[in-house]
Amino acid sequence: MSKELTYWTSFFKKVLIVIFAIIGIWLSIKLVCFYLPFIIAFFIYLIIEPLIKKLMNKFKLTRKTSSIIVFILTFGIIIGILVWGIITIISESSDLLSNFNYYYEQANSIIHNLLSKFNDEKINLPENVLSTLRDNAFSMLEILSEYLQSFFTKIISGITKIPIVAIYIGVLVLALYFFCTDKIYMLDELEHHLPETWMKRLTKHVSEIMKILGGYVKAQLSLIFISFIICLIGLYIYHFMGLNVGFPLIMAIAIGFVDALPILGTGTIMIPWGIFAGLNGDLRLGIAIITLWIIVTLIRQFLEPKIVSRKYRCSSNIYSDCNVYWV
């Protein structure tokens, strides 16, 4: 009887753990708007922490002084990038929406030309196959155009939410400042208020998570950022050269976003873009986009082994000792 009772007790405990985990995940998703600035501030802090320590060691500064210096530099860079990015994205989104019908007609014309080539004497596809291809192609184009119009309209309408964004940025800045300057104090308070066994377990689990995921995440983010910067510079060069690249920042962000997704890469956008540009008669742009994709791919293939091995090695050195992580 006792064994059966023990079994059911253990079973109900596991069920309760699962239920509480589901409730916790649901609450985390619902309340993400409240704690997101703190998470972003924490990740920015992890990036600039090595620079703070380097200033402390090289110039013999106190943690607060070096933290303030790095914080001011970081804050200035972030604000500058945000202002430029927001203004550029809103400007490019407005231009894209105003010329959306033109781009839609161009895509429509390209699809018509491609389908007409399938109906020549060499290929001569059956009419039902052509009809299926035509219906699917135009339905996909319609869905994509509606989604893009809705997306860029939301971006422009988001300008009305600038006060909310300003509040978020203010909370982020304050959180980042306290993470940088009062790290030791916060850790001391955490150790003072939590039981010793909890602190040991927390330290152990955090160090293991950082060791396993830290190197991989840092390596992938570094590669995605490098691809984004190369695409951004290349597209702006093409734009200034007079090629038909009207929205370099939006396209670079889209390429970086797709590059961050599993399996997909920069070629998912750049190869079709280059092919469509060539088929539409702009052979220079098509060759330029394919060339940029080759450059990005070669640089990524060259840097990926070095970055991945270095990030994993650094993560292993930093997080192998729990005390090193907390200090």
Per-residue pLDDT averaged across 265-283, rounded? Answer: 86
Per-residue pLDDT averaged across 123-147, rounded? Answer: 72
Task: Identify whether 116 is part of a domain.
Answer: no
Q: What is the dihedral of CA 52, 58, 64, 68, to 10 degrees?
A: -60
Position 145 scores a pLDDT of 77
Task: Identify whether 282 is part of a domain.
Answer: yes
Task: Identify whether 309 is part of a domain.
Answer: yes
Is pLDDT above 80 for 321?
no
Per-residue pLDDT averaged across 80-96, rounded? Answer: 83
Task: Identify whether 20 is part of a domain.
Answer: no
Task: Identify whether 234 is part of a domain.
Answer: yes
Q: Give residue 238's domain range.
A: 195-327
Is pLDDT above 90 for 235?
yes
Is pLDDT above 60 for 324?
no
Task: Identify whether 59 is part of a domain.
Answer: no
- Euclidean distance between CA atoms 89 and 325, whole angstroms: 39
**Number of domains, the chain:** 1
Task: Identify whether 206 is part of a domain.
Answer: yes
Per-residue pLDDT tens over the stretch 4-54: 667 677 777 788 888 887 887 787 777 777 778 888 888 888 788 888 888
The pTM of the full predicted model, rounded to 2 decimals, is 0.69
Per-residue pLDDT tens over the stretch 59-71: 888 888 888 898 8
- Euclidean distance between CA atoms 52 and 179, whole angstroms: 12
